[in-house]
Amino acid sequence: MARRFEYTDARSNKFWEITIKAKTVTVQYGRLGTDGQTQVKTHATPAEAKAAAEKQIAEKVKKGYREVSSEAAGTAPKAPAKKAVAKKAAPSAPPSAQDVAAEEAIEDRERMQTICLTGPFHATIPPKLRKMMEQENEFVFLRGHALYVGYDLDVSSMYGSPFGKSEADFSAVVNEFEALLPKLAPFMKTDFEIYYFTYTGEYTATMWAYRKGALWTAGGWIGDFCRSRSEEAKNDFVDRNHLPLKSGEIESELSDALGKALKKVR
């Protein structure tokens, strides 16, 4: 099943398309007229995949996206009804640099994972870290009661971000962020599952999950999550997984292994 949505206003012309195939949910999004970007996530069951897709669709509709086509069970989308001819509107002024930056920031949020928080959680965050997190970035960004987390927390990717000037600075921030999450557990509002890539001497995958009031985590060298005991196979698994993981994609073998390795931290 594939469904396509579009959002258009004075400053934005974007599309968002979601496809469900068995346990896999594929999302493609970007500016109209471009191929956009693609994210793929494999769930434990087809029912879980469908539920996750429906949740994402509801969020897009709430944001103002309008469905323009759908495809289910091999049925082609219906042709749109004829529209009345309208007078040609005067060309609008090109967007300013600020408008473009604002639109790009919104798209960055849509590429990130969200942890919803409630209550007086701000006091839990060290002031220096909170100040950095509240600056616009694609790694760990705090706005209001939403904590956005990127898929790529590789210290070599964080140059130019608010989190310092060296790999040692960035590594310290990632460690501080991971130490912060258990402290935020009492303020977590809804269940979630997030994962991300880090590199601090080895290729690492990390997953956090909040379920029924408990926080769980698992992480380590990507090769440790490979079913094979062969070192060659493990290295191939790392090579095959670390770049897609940074882009928000994850193979079912890695996802399943991380899920099985989860340990309760709070």
The pLDDT tens digits of the residues spanning 144-162 come to: 999 999 999 999 889 889 9
Mean pLDDT of the chain: 84
Residue ranges per structural domain of the chain: 2-74, 104-264
Cβ contact 115:149 at 8 Å: yes
The pLDDT tens digits of the residues spanning 58-113 come to: 878 877 889 997 554 333 334 344 444 444 444 545 544 444 444 444 555 677 99
**HSE of 56, CA atoms in CB hemisphere, 13 A:** 27
**At which residue do the structure tokens 């060659």 appear?**
232
CATH topology classification for 2-74: q64v53_bacfr protein fold (2.20.140)
Model pTM score: 0.63
Spatial distance between the Cα atoms of 6 and 19, rounded to a whole number of angstroms: 15
